A and B are shown apart, each in its own frame.
Chain A
Amino acid sequence: MSSPELDQFLSLSQILTGESDPNQELAAQYLQRLKDKYPTQMQNILTAFGKIAADEHAVFEVKRRIVGDSNLQPLAQQIISVWYTSEFVGPDGKTNGGTQAQYYHGLLWKVILAHAPTDSKQDYGYWAKAPNAEKTRKQRGKKP
């Protein structure tokens, strides 16, 4: 499934989301969904990232050249959104939704140390204690 384009998207997603090990299968699905709605813009943002991907300070360069670029920033925001929520807003202003697996793997739930609604993997009473960040990370990291 790997391709230079997918690898590029994975690397950009890693920096934008802060997720150290983004799921490759999901990445392929998200890339396709985004390309379906933003064909030219996705090309542009990946091209822009390609120029800075190998930079020693790639995070800073993403901040300066992509997140700080008024033309590229809106799509960068949608890339973050699809990883965090499984939803993104298309160029027509309409929200594009994901599959059940994509919803359950939304990074938002992992970051807030919770789980997507209807997707508890724990037993009765776990909510009475503060979450264990390490345990939550492992539980949410399973394959879609």
Chain B
Amino acid sequence: MNSDYDLVVIGSGVAGALVAWKLAEAGRRVLIIDAGTKRMEKADRDTFVTAFSQALQKDKTPSQPYQPRAENAAAKVLTSPDVVDFKLIGQPGDKPYFIQVGPDVWLTQYTRLVGGTTWSWRGNCPRFIPSDFKIQTLYQQGVDWPIEYEQLEKWYCDAEDALGVSGNHDEWNKIAYRSRKFPMDEIVQAYGDQRLKEALAGFSTDDVKVEVVSLPQARNSRPYRSGDDDDLRPACHGNSNCIPICPIQAKYDATVHVKKALKLKANLIERAIVTDLTLDADGKVDGIGYRTWDDPKERRVKAKIVVLAANGIESPKLLLMSNRGRGIANSSDQVGRNLMDHLGGEGAALMPFQVFPFRGPQSTSCIESFRDHKFRNQKCAFRLTIGNDGWGRTKHPFDTLEELTDRRLFGEDLRKELLNTVSRQLRIAYSTEQLPNPNNRVMLSDQKDDFGIPRPIIEFKVDDYSRKGMEYAEQIIKNIFTAIRAPEETWEFTDLQGPRFFSGSGHIMGTCRMGKDPRDSVVDPGCRAHDHQNLFIVGSSVFPTAGTTNPTITLAALALRAADRIQAQL
């Protein structure tokens, strides 16, 4: 095949950026195509920060930076899915990008921007633990991964070096074996977390010792460069705004590796939507069809290897649209199925001591004690994260102020009560493991988006395994609040009986899952499509199960491992 490139990478989020960087570093001809716009310079970041600070509090959308909406006000496809998408079809209001058919509502979005959703992640980087890879064997739930923790461990280390993860080796070596230290010491724990840790010293519940440990994060605890070029990024200054935007790039985002790839002579086509992957007679992908924002005419490019790195919604959507609408990589009928997120919720209370939130990163500590709990065969496992942002989703300080002024407080009384209340606000968030369910899926709609391509239909249901795990998490947080004597009349919890009984985590997993058997999986253990030997899929869409933790460092490890294999195949 006469190819324009050795490699075309579709999507420049962390998975795509890492693969592009590694292959460009190996001297390969690399092209990156991204649906978003390229805004990677400091001036762009400053523009986002200004937009954030000028937005109304209710519009400071907590999971995406600010798209250049003015340029494309009518073209929803060119911006990110956002909160208007969080509703079932048939409800009045904005025209959503997602066609949600329920019965539950998918509550996670993503960012269309070069660098992807890492612009607006929190930077949390706990690894999966060994049991996460084999919950079928251990607990008769879900499926086992086709690889084990030990096979990924070296790649975890490389991913931590690449992203720049700060962490405490001794704490985390007890949680999952580590062959290498983190590249940076842990981010120091917030004052309030230290107070909580002291208050919980020696505390156990359900025979489990509850330990508050530092949270590994791709956020610099000292100036750090990912490699030997001149990309030194500063230590965190504690701007308390990891989501939606770090103003100084102390937190890693994938523009780091997009820039590295470009410096190594990779090419980038921004503002371009890939609409079709075509096949030759041997079943190899022989063409990539795309259109740019500004030109509806389809363009085509050829590559020896294609790497699909969109995300767990856009990647399966493209596979289903490809081959002129007949679909590719789907002999297993698994493309788009097993959609998962880490369903979340939180408990909030006033502490009997001051924690002084909104100083430092939005979270610096966590409780990992329930990631492999003794009831995992009946209800899902979970992690707990300590918020350093007051009551988080439960109540913003602006709302606390309004409550106090509703009570006609003013002047010095208002100041004292505001400090007394907000300085004691602390939340503990849970993040739960959702099982793969083939009926939770992404499909193509007959309805077209503003770009003229099918919108994604999302079918999504939360099962009892998840619900029981969320109830268990709530119980554990209640036990913690009781142990530290947080006044019960101040407690607030996500209402597990209400219509919004969970929140999305931004972790789109499972729609192109990995497995050894081509009959029930889309890619092999090395992320290559079973059906097409020159198509690789990277990102959390390949996860067979979700575990409990943020997927980024695991998907980064898998992407680096896949890059090694791609290099060998080229």
Give A113-144 interface residues, CB cut-off 8 Å to B: 113-120, 122-131
How many angstroms from the CA of A59 to the CA of B409 in the assembled complex?
Answer: 12
**Interface membership of chain B positions 401-425, coded 1 if the CB is closer than 8 angstroms to chain A and 0 otherwise:** 1100110101111110011001100
Out of B57, B245, B415, name the residue touching A85 (CB < 8 Å): B57
Does chain A have a CB within 8 A of B503?
no
CB of A100 within 8 A of CB of B50, answer: yes
Does chain B have a CB within 8 A of A34?
no
How many angstroms from the CA of A98 to the CA of B406 in the assembled complex?
Answer: 22
CB of A127 within 8 A of CB of B410, answer: no
How many angstroms from the CA of A87 to the CA of B406 in the assembled complex?
Answer: 16
Residue numbers in A under 8 Å from B364 (CB-CB): 127
Out of A68, A80, A100, A113, name the residue touching B414 (CB < 8 Å): A80
For residue A55, give the distance in angstroms from its CB to the closest CB of chain B. 15
How many angstroms from the CA of A86 to the CA of B406 in the assembled complex?
Answer: 18
Does chain B have a CB within 8 A of A63?
yes
Q: At the interface with chain A, which of B16-24, B127-135, B354-362?
A: B354-362
Does chain B have a CB within 8 A of A108?
yes
In the complex with contacts A80-B405, A129-B191, A131-B359, A118-B388 CB distance below 8 A: no
Does chain A have a CB within 8 A of B56?
yes
Residue numbers in B under 8 Å from A125 (CB-CB): 188, 238
Residue numbers in A under 8 Å from B354 (CB-CB): 130
CB of A15 within 8 A of CB of B194, answer: no
In the complex with contacts A117-B241, A126-B359, A95-B58 CB distance below 8 A: yes
Residue numbers in B under 8 Å from A62 (CB-CB): 410-411
For residue B347, give the distance in angstroms from its CB to the closest CB of chain A. 21
Does chain A have a CB within 8 A of B247?
yes
In the complex with contacts A115-B358, A125-B188, A17-B411 CB distance below 8 A: yes
A-B pairs with beta carbons under 8 A, tally: 139
Residue numbers in A under 8 Å from B413 (CB-CB): 18
Give the residue name and chain of the B residue nearest to A129 (CB). B191
CB of B423 within 8 A of CB of A103, answer: no
CB of A112 within 8 A of CB of B402, answer: no
In the complex with contacts A112-B358, A123-B237, A131-B359, A99-B191 CB distance below 8 A: no
CB of B54 within 8 A of CB of A100, answer: yes
How many angstroms from the CA of A95 to the CA of B190 in the assembled complex?
Answer: 33
Out of A68, A84, A100, A120, name the residue touching B238 (CB < 8 Å): A120
Out of B53, B241, B402, B414, name the residue touching A18 (CB < 8 Å): B414
Does chain A have a CB within 8 A of B189?
yes
Does chain A have a CB within 8 A of B397?
yes
CB of A85 within 8 A of CB of B401, answer: yes
CB of A114 within 8 A of CB of B240, answer: yes
For residue B183, give the distance in angstroms from its CB to the closest CB of chain A. 16
CB of B398 within 8 A of CB of A108, answer: yes
CB of A114 within 8 A of CB of B358, answer: yes
Does chain A have a CB within 8 A of B236?
yes
How many angstroms from the CA of A108 to the CA of B54 in the assembled complex?
Answer: 16
Residue numbers in A under 8 Å from B570 (CB-CB): none
How many angstroms from the CA of A108 to the CA of B240 in the assembled complex?
Answer: 15
Out of B52, B359, B398, name the residue touching A127 (CB < 8 Å): B359
Task: Give the interface size class of chain B.
Answer: 35 or more
Give the residue name and chain of the B residue nearest to A96 (CB). B56
Residue numbers in B under 8 Å from A49 (CB-CB): none
Interface centre among B57, B358, B418 (most CB of A within 10 A): B358
CB of A104 within 8 A of CB of B238, answer: no
How many angstroms from the CA of A122 to the CA of B360 in the assembled complex?
Answer: 10
Give the residue name and chain of the A residue nearest to B59 (CB). A97
CB of A120 within 8 A of CB of B58, answer: no
How many angstroms from the CA of A16 to the CA of B408 in the assembled complex?
Answer: 10
Out of B191, B222, B358, B401, name the residue touching A117 (CB < 8 Å): B358
Residue numbers in B under 8 Å from A28 (CB-CB): none
For residue B481, give the distance in angstroms from its CB to the closest CB of chain A. 22
Does chain B have a CB within 8 A of A76?
yes
Out of A15, A67, A84, A116, name the residue touching B401 (CB < 8 Å): A84
In the complex with contacts A108-B397, A127-B190, A128-B188, A114-B236 CB distance below 8 A: no
Does chain A have a CB within 8 A of B49?
yes
Does chain A have a CB within 8 A of B147?
no
Out of B356, B398, B410, name the residue touching A16 (CB < 8 Å): B410
How many angstroms from the CA of A64 to the CA of B406 in the assembled complex?
Answer: 16
Does chain B have a CB within 8 A of A44?
no
Does chain B have a CB within 8 A of A73?
yes
Residue numbers in B under 8 Å from A80 (CB-CB): 401, 405, 410, 414
Does chain A have a CB within 8 A of B505?
no
Does chain B have a CB within 8 A of A38?
no
CB of B359 within 8 A of CB of A115, answer: yes
Residue numbers in A under 8 Å from B422 (CB-CB): 112
CB of A130 within 8 A of CB of B191, answer: yes
Does chain A have a CB within 8 A of B235?
yes
Residue numbers in B under 8 Å from A63 (CB-CB): 410
Sample of 10 further A-B pairs with CB below 8 A, known A115-B359, A128-B194 = A18-B412, A100-B50, A108-B418, A109-B358, A112-B419, A120-B238, A120-B240, A126-B238, A127-B190, A127-B238
Chosen A-B contacts, 19 in total, with CB atoms closer than 8 Å, are A18-B411, A59-B411, A67-B410, A76-B410, A77-B405, A77-B406, A80-B414, A81-B401, A87-B57, A97-B56, A108-B397, A112-B358, A115-B359, A118-B52, A118-B53, A119-B239, A120-B237, A120-B238, A127-B190
A positions within 8 Å CB-CB of B = 15-18, 59, 62-63, 67-68, 73, 76-77, 80-81, 84-85, 87, 95, 97-100, 103-104, 108-109, 111-120, 122-131
B positions within 8 Å CB-CB of A = 49-50, 52-58, 188-191, 194, 221-222, 235-241, 245, 247, 354, 356-361, 364, 388, 397-398, 401-402, 405-406, 408, 410-415, 418-419, 422-423
